[in-house]
Amino acid sequence: MIPCSEVFVTPEEPNPEQKDPSLAQTGGGQPRLQKRLGRAQALGISSEMDTLYGRNKEEHPEPIKAEVQGQLPTWLRGILLRNGPGMHTIGDSKYNHWFDGLALLHSFTFKNGEVYYRSKYLRSDTYNCNIEANRIVVSEFGTMAYPDPCKNIFAKAFSYLSHTIPEFTDNCLINIMKAGDDFYATGETNFIRKINPQTLETLEKVDYNKYVAVNLATSHPHYDSAGNVLNMGTSIVDKGKTKYVLFKIPSSVPEKEKKKSCFKHLEVVCSIPSHSLLHPSYYHSFGLTENYIIFIEQPFRLDIVKMATAYIRGVNWASCLAYNKDDKTWFHFIDRKTKKEVSTKFYTDALVFFHHINAYEEDGHIIFDLIAYTDNSLYDMFYLKNLDKDFEENIKLTSIPTCKRFVVPLQYDKDAEVGSNLVRLASTATAVKEKDGTIYCQHETLGEGIELPRINYDYNGKKYKYVFATEVQWSPVPTKIAKLNTQTKEMIHWGQDHCWPSEPVFVPNPDAKEEDDGVVLTCVVKSDPKEAPFLLVLDAKTFTELGRATVNVEMHMDLHGMFIPEQVVKTETD
């Protein structure tokens, strides 16, 4: 439930014939949502950037047949399901940040050489409250919602108090997760929303906090060989402690409990104490090898006291994050069998990162790759006030994203001299023993200017070669798709003028014998909104275009998603 003290909306009794408030009919016979979309668009479009990032997008819940050019592989059958912000203006109110927009799901269904597109807003409680009130009434990370100024002073005071321990949004706009036989839209709060991957219908809400004491959770879970979900969340000042909790959601439940949710069988694998009770690290993903969980505690931290007082101080929760460039970044390695953390303390210099790429073990070492920055400027780039016509000229990242490889020796000579490099593999990455027994790690650079990395997930936790990513350079706006060979450091690209691709998704050929035998899928929007967007299909080996599916809609810039093979969709929806 979204707390009424926050929204200060007294919902009208729902019309039994019209359960969805966004579709309630208004004057002229137009659905209320469509009227509001048009009204928001009429507020004025100052630039192509605002059109692509700020303007509300219309949903298309019924399938639209795409125009296919080229030749798609006959084995490519299933659904590419993606998630991202699609609505930033509600009534006369507007979100401050692009990452705050209401979640808009969209999908491309491949069948018999044809492609069908559809999109639908996630009907979260957040969405329903906002649409019903015709303004933003539920706070997001970069936008704090305030009560109606006409409410009395006692109601205002109660609202301020309610934000001391905030109940977060269920606007799950970042990714898609599979758990058991079901699929969920995910964000970074303790809420996820079950969805139907074929119709994009929103189903029940799941609160992680009912099963494990976490207030925040990542939107990038991992899946083990048995199909279990592994994820991490932050438990804020629970029983006097702030910790990072690793938990497992089973892929199936006992036959006699088939009617019960897999979340009822959720298991806490282990917890890692935060270095600071009131300043837990922000994290967006974590790493996994055959035997270890990798958690990076970066000096990009959430100030709990500031967060608890943010509402009364009139600032958003994002302002409660701070980066300390003089602090250390700590590496935590948890043995998956014993569930105990490796006792040796490994660290590196301060960095900010969002995405792990992959990790694996070799000759007593853990090798892990991630995309890192030397500051936290990336988030600020996407405040909507910055997305104007001069965005690409005036707004530059002050730190280019760098693909960094760390090589960490878990097995090393305990009698090694202080100052000696303990890495025994062929790499420029180092791990130097210090006087106090800690080990200081420095990275090897694999490449620069890429983000939103994906791999062939069959190689997750294993030695691998290839990374598929967007190329961003000094601007956070992706301009190309890149394929990086981590062994040779060679990079090949696909790009066209005025095209902005999304995160690439690798889909393996069912008969693949090699790591890059498959296709790469990416949604491409044009910088000129008058030109139709398309889904691009690349040969993953050569990066040559196999085909594209063009859809005559105004497609939104999305964030993350997954490909669901046809047999999985059939099995789980029959």
List Cβ neighbours of 125 (8 Å cut-off, separation of 6 or more). 1, 2, 138, 170, 205
**Residue whose tokens read 């960490």:** 408
Report the b/e string of 346-363 with b at 16+ CB within 10 A.
bbbebbbbbbbbbbbbee
- What is the Cα 236 distance to its own chain's centre? 21
Task: State the Cα–Cα distance between residues 450 and 372, nearest whole angstrom.
Answer: 10
Sheet holding 430-433, edge to edge: 287-288, 292-297, 328-335, 346-349, 439-442, 430-433
Cα atoms found within 13 Å of the Cα of residue 75, Cβ hemisphere only: 9
Strand 321-323 and strand 328-335: pairing? unpaired
Q: How far is CA 4 from the centre of its chain?
A: 28
Tokens (6 digits) for 539: 């040969």
Q: Is 493 annotated as a binding residue?
A: no
Judge contact between 138 and 171, C-beta under 8 A: yes
Parallel/antiparallel/unpaired status of strands 60-65 and 491-494: unpaired
* ∠ Cα 341 229 574 (to 5°): 170
Quote the CA–CA distance of 141 and 120 in Å, as a whole number: 23
Q: 163 among the known binding-site residues? A: no
> What's 282's DSSP letter?
P
Residue 355 is assigned to a ligand binding site: yes
DSSP three-state, residue 440: strand
On whether the CB atoms of residues 90 and 135 are closer than 8 A, the answer is: yes
Which of 377, 142, 310, 336 shows the shortest CA–CA distance to 246? 336
314 CB-near residues (< 8 Å, 6+ apart):
144
Task: Fill in the amino acid letter for 454.
Answer: R
556 marked among binding-site residues: no
Q: What is d(CA 410, CA 320) in angstroms, rounded to the nearest whole number?
A: 35
Residues, the chain, total?
574
CA–CA distances in Å: residue 142 to residues 95, 423, 490? 8, 42, 38
The binding site comprises: 220, 284, 355, 560
The binding site for Fe cation comprises: 220, 284, 355, 560
